[in-house]
Amino acid sequence: MIALAIVGVALVGYLLGSMPWSVWIGRWFYDIDVRGYGSGNAGATNTIRVLGILPGLLVFTLDVLKGLLSVLVAWQVGGLLIAQGALDGSWGVPIQLLGGVCAFLGHVFPIFAGFRGGKGVATLCGVVLGLHPLATLSALGVFALVLLVTRYVSLGSMLAALSFPFFLYFVYGERNPWLTAVSIVLVVMIIVTHRANIGRLLHGKESRFSPSRAGMRNQVKKG
């Protein structure tokens, strides 16, 4: 029963993460695949770039929700197992982390979109929001500040991800070893999914966020 429940948490997390909202919204309402335009990424930022601010914000919200839901489902399952005495209380956080990590992997490698997904920032935001809301809001503050100053979404995303373990451990005093370790692993994964952005930043070729250029899909088709 325990093994089945844990596999179920992982599967639900992955399937939730695999919902490619940017691809679906582009196809359903605009008859395009956003991965063929702009950066080619199936995420909220490229959706804003290709389809406009409102569709992009919708995608961001839905991507955050799938990360948050994966943690909440895992929290419920873990709570039931602990209440029934099948597991002790120390397993609560690891089970939630399992659901969240699987949601992140589902977003990056979605089964419903040919395993070509996004970079996982919004989904990870939902995951950590479910795990530690205060540290998440603090990291979002870092993102907003970096975006305001530099207008680089990618740089803001990476620095926000890097700041999360700092806020978690040093500011809010979270000492759960599972949460600390996995938060560091997730930071590494975010950096890995942004490796192309890092190259463009180093060479001064990264695109800056500009609301006035949102929705310009005809001019930015990916070559």
DSSP assignment letter at 109: S
Mean pLDDT of 171-180: 94
Please report the pLDDT score of residue 221 as a whole number: 52
Q: In this model, does residue 132 exceed pLDDT 90?
A: yes
- According to DSSP, the residues that pair with 155 across neighbouring strands are none
Give the C-alpha separation, 8 to 98, whole Å.
10
Residue 94, pLDDT > 50, answer yes
The mean pLDDT value for 101-115 works out to 97
- pLDDT over 60 at 8, yes or no: yes
Task: State pLDDT tens for residues 67-77.
Answer: 999 999 999 99
Band of pLDDT at residue 212, cut at 50, 70 and 90? low
> By CB neighbour count within 10 A (0-12 exposed, 13-18 middle, 19+ buried), where does 140 fall?
middle
Confidence class of residue 209 from pLDDT cuts 50, 70 and 90? Answer: confident
Diameter of the chain measured on Cα atoms: 59
Show Cβ contacts of residue 27 under 8 Å, excluding neighbours closer than 6 positions: 33
For the stretch 82-87, contacts whose Cβ atoms lie closer than 8 Å and that sit 24 or more positions apart, written own/partner, are 86/1, 86/2, 87/2
How confident is residue 186, by pLDDT bands cut at 50, 70 and 90?
A: confident
- pLDDT at residue number 211: 74
The mean of the pLDDT values for the chain is: 93
Q: Where residue 223 falls among pLDDT bands split at 50, 70, 90?
A: very low
How far is residue 142 from each of residues 57, 79, 98, 118, 147, measured CA to CA in Å?
19, 33, 26, 21, 8
**pLDDT beyond 80 at 220:** no
